[in-house]
Structure 1
């Protein structure tokens, strides 16, 4: 679970919430805020429009939590009322209402239930969204853009909607630029005569800056999770290879280089939750130094990054979408994808030469269905293969299901 507005209000560290925390919130009369909304009970069909409005408003205001089962008075928590019946069927219904009434859709909602049935509390986490502003389809068939205004929910004015769209496009441009810079910085740390891949993934809802530096103990937790077997790959291990070494502090990040002097692998975790990985691709002996990559690399690279994202997000309590980029560079700008046929690597024809490998984009979603994340891994692998002239791939390195 991520660091939430309730953590902030109660002065908690970034640990999972527990039922006594909600009792403490009532005792302290914690007020609502732009990223914290108390609700008496879960919505019913008659109030699904209001539910969609609340969710979209939270997403349009940078994300937050809506907590059901808490009675409020004058926007302050006063009692635990009980959220009502909650289970898989209710959650599917709530998600379907958001899916049908909110545009662009919001898929990364996270529900967590706490406490006994008659005093059940359900926390709905609404992550920040790159697609803000989200519009809500109202009963009169018109679209409006809601937003949080302190503890209240209002609709945006025309000028505010214009600013929101401009902010969306500018934020995307800024993120793209920064991630591309990180890719190039990573590539430049390797021997220029070797083929290498750089991978960067940045959470849409980044880790709050007020939490400070990631501690060494949390870094160790991430590393221990990441060196375990990758759940997306047929091979044992984390994917393209384990990166062992001493972690060194950098500017708002930790870096592991293996080996330090002439690295064949680099693993970075940034304080905002960004994950960066880099590898020399011929280290296994498959390729001579040059400018080529293989089907194995194309399939294992997204799986390796997704595995690292899972390890990082679980330790840091991050959920939702990660925006990712992949970049392959060799001795020259021209690249080829080599396939293994009849016991040997093929020699790429002119039609398979990539004149200038541009970064490949992907999106990974954590904290929800693992099968969805596997499909996103396969989609990214397919893009890397398509880039080299291969239409599709067999399930040779990636698992068909989790």
Structure 2
């Protein structure tokens, strides 16, 4: 039988003029009802499946048009559709619509709009009070999400000796937390290994990468998390100290010393002097850890906060490099306070989409110090 999270369709909608079909309404109704699945290629009678129906080939162009409708014909857009092609001789297509915290999702017909919702096996329209309640739930969820991220940030920043050197603190919390999933030690090790590979696919090894200074091969259990403790413990290594953790609810935290890095064999920057490349490497490692964790625990969107903690009297200075690669502070803007960078990132994005998110976060961080260009993170493709 069809239910509020399962809808049978006998044939695929046409690839052209998809926005004028029932596709936007069906997707929005599922998103407004906590997510669900639409299956094309199933005959039904009285809301019950009675047999298979061949949908024919579902081309990549058809899929792109389908995903585009979920973004352009629905407000707010519905991201993260999962599309599965099933069968060979008798083909079918299953589309999974994720749960959403951005409801109500509205669709527009000419000058009118409505908020569809699943009512058991049927699609109905929300009444005014239902729309009001869903908006209230959205705003409450945003407040709770902000509180969760801020709580993670305060916890991660507590162990930093910010009086001696500046520390970058980065935390991320999934927008739709799932059930607590306790990774095994081997699975946690695989997440950290995956992150180390991901970060070097988007950045150069020209700065200090925090994930190279944590015990990724032997993570330790923590409070509902796995922790990769710092390995830079000696007096000559403390300047590159770092900690990373992956929580059972999908949250991620990374803390790394970014001030007072070594500048020569026996020379060090001051605690308030931060290499821009050091910030870039830390942001790249942090984003890579988010993506690796999301893959392991099947999360999608994350709320993130990145800040720099410094307790000294001197203002922070972000250093860049000149055309010859030498450290240069001629464009630096002294910072009395570093404003935390907040954003929502899609961890399931791949290729240039994920690269763009990483690039923008790193730019927001170094731009505060007067630095324009990134040097450790690879440039975006020309079409971006």
Shorter-chain TM-score range? 0.7 to 0.9
Structure 2 distance, partners of 1:340, 1:98, is 44
Instruction: Report matched runs for 1:95-110 at 5 Å.
Output: 95-110=67-82
Query: Which residue pairs with 1:273 in the alignment?
Result: 250
* Structure 2 gap ranges (5+): none
Is 1:397 the counterpart of 2:374? The answer is: no
Counterpart mapping for 1:246-265 below 5 A: 246-259=218-231, 264-265=241-242
Preserved contact between residue 363 and residue 376 of structure 1 (Cα < 8 Å): no
Match of 1:206 in 2: 177
Match of 1:26 in 2: none
Q: Deviations over 1:239-276 (max 9, x none)?
A: 44322253233333222212398892222112222222
Task: Name which of 179, 184, 200 aligns with 2:154.
Answer: 184
Partners in 1 of 2:276 and 2:189 — Cα distance?
31
In 2: Cα distance, 1:394 partner to 1:255 partner = 29
Question: How far does residue 314 in structure 1 lie from its aligned partner after superposition?
Answer: 2.1
| Pairing 1:18-167 to 2, within 5 Å after superposition | 31-44=1-14, 45=16, 48=19, 49-116=21-88, 118-138=89-109, 140-167=110-137
1:346 Cα offset (Å): 4.1
Inter-partner Cα distance in structure 2 for 1:332 and 1:64: 52
Structure 1 residue aligned with 2:145: 175
CA distance in 2, matches of 1:325, 1:358: 10
Q: CA deviation at 1:95?
A: 2.2
How far 1:156 moved relative to its partner?
A: 1.2
How far has the Cα of 1:343 moved from its partner? 5.8
The separation in 1 between residues aligned to 2:77 and 2:192, in whole angstroms, is 34
Provide TM-score, normalisation by structure 2.
Answer: 0.83
Q: Is the 8 A contact 1:257 1:265 kept in 2?
A: yes
CA distance in 2, matches of 1:222, 1:363: 21
**1:207-226 equivalences in 2 (<5 Å):** 207-209=178-180, 212-226=181-195
Partner residue, 2:308: 328
Query: 1:57-99: CA deviations, max 9, x gaps?
Result: 2222233332322334444444332333212110121123233
Tell me what 2:262 maps to. 285
Query: Structure 1's 269 and 70: CA in aligned 2 closer, same or farther, altered over 3 A?
Result: farther
Unpaired stretches in structure 1, ≥5 consecutive residues: 1-30
| Closer/same/farther in 2, CA of residues 36 and 236 from structure 1, 3 Å limit | farther
| Contact kept? 1:264, 1:283, Cα under 8 Å | no
Q: How far did 1:238 drift?
A: 10
Change (3 A) 1:34 1:275: farther
Q: How many matched pairs?
A: 365
Q: CA deviation at 1:399?
A: 4.1
